[in-house]
Amino acid sequence: MMMITLAVTGKGGVGKTSIAAGLARTFARTGKRVIALDMDPSPNLWYSLGCGVPGQPDTIIPLISRKDFIEERTGAPLGASGMIFRINPKVNDVLDMFGVSCKDGVRLLVLGAIRTGGGGCYCPANTLARRLVSHLSGEADLLVMDMEAGVEHLGRGTTRSAQALLVIVEPGLKSIETTLQIAKMGKDLGILHIFGIINKLRKGDDPGQIAKRLTEAGVTTIFAFPYDPAMEVADRTGVPVIDLPEGKRMEAQLIELAQVIEKHLPNQAPGH
C-alpha cells in the first residue's frame, strides 16, 4: 500500500492551505484514506476542507491548547520549566477523540502551532506533537500537514516524519527567499524530497526563472498554478474552491498535481 506524508509550507498568503486541502480531497476521491493535520497558529484548514459552515466561527480547540490533555499524556504541565515528562506519550486514540470528518472522507485533526513565549518549556507539547505526527504517518494512505507559514516550524522537528516538503511559492522576492530558507532547513532535517509548487502566476511572470532559482537551492519544481480568481471567491465566501462552479479549472489542476506527486514518490513507506 502506498503511504505518503506531505508537509505543505511556504510564506504566508501564497495559498498553501487551499492547495493542502485540495490535495487531501483529491487523493481521498481516489479511494485513499486521508488524514489532514492543521499545524497553523490560525487554523483555516477546517473551512478549506469543507468541514466548517461559511460565516460561522468554528468551535474546534487546537490540541496544543488543551493543557489538561497534554499534562495527562506527558505528565508535565504545558509551559512548566525543569519538569520530567514522558518522551513516548500515548497518541493512538487522539484521532478518534478529536478528529473531525470532512468532505470526501478526509479526517481532520487540528493540532495548532507550538509557541515558546514566556520563558516556559514547551517540550512536552512538542514531544506530543512529534509523536502524534509519526503515529498518524502510519495510519493512512496519505497524511497532509498544513504547516505554519514561514520557517519557524521546521526548528521544532514536527516535519521530520514527512517524506516530502511541498513548498508553495509565488512570484516575488520574499516568497522565493522564504522558499530557499525552508529548503535549507528541510535538508538539515534529512527530508529527501523538497518540491516547489509555483502559485499565482500572472501574465508576464516567468516560471522558468523561478524554477531555475529553486533548482540552484536543490528544490525541484513540479507544478505551476496560474493566478485563478476562483481562489479569491473561495477566500471571500469560505467555500472550498473545488466546490465552486468557477473552481473547475483548479480542480482539474489538483488532480494533475496529485498524479505528479505519486510519480515522484512511488510506493514508499513513511520515513523512506
**61-93 pLDDT tens trace:** 889 888 899 889 988 776 665 567 878 899 999
The pLDDT value given to residue 178: 93
* Overall residue count recorded for the chain in this entry: 272
* pLDDT exceeds 50 at position 119: no
Nearest to 127 by CA among 153, 82, 157, 151: 157
16-56: pLDDT as tens digits: 999 999 999 999 999 999 999 999 877 789 889 988 665 55
Residue 56 neighbours by CB distance under 10 Å: 8
Nearest to 198 by CA among 112, 108, 260: 260
Quote the CA–CA distance of 8 and 149 in Å, as a whole number: 9
Task: State the pTM of this model.
Answer: 0.89
- Sheet hosting strand 164-169, strand order edge to edge: 100-101, 107-110, 34-39, 142-147, 4-10, 164-169, 193-201, 220-226
Quote the CA–CA distance of 46 and 200 in Å, as a whole number: 22
Q: How confident is the model at residue 155 (pLDDT cuts 50, 70, 90)?
A: low
* pLDDT exceeds 90 at position 272: no
The Cα diameter of the chain in Å comes to 57
Domains contained in the chain, CATH given? 4-264 (3.40.50.300)
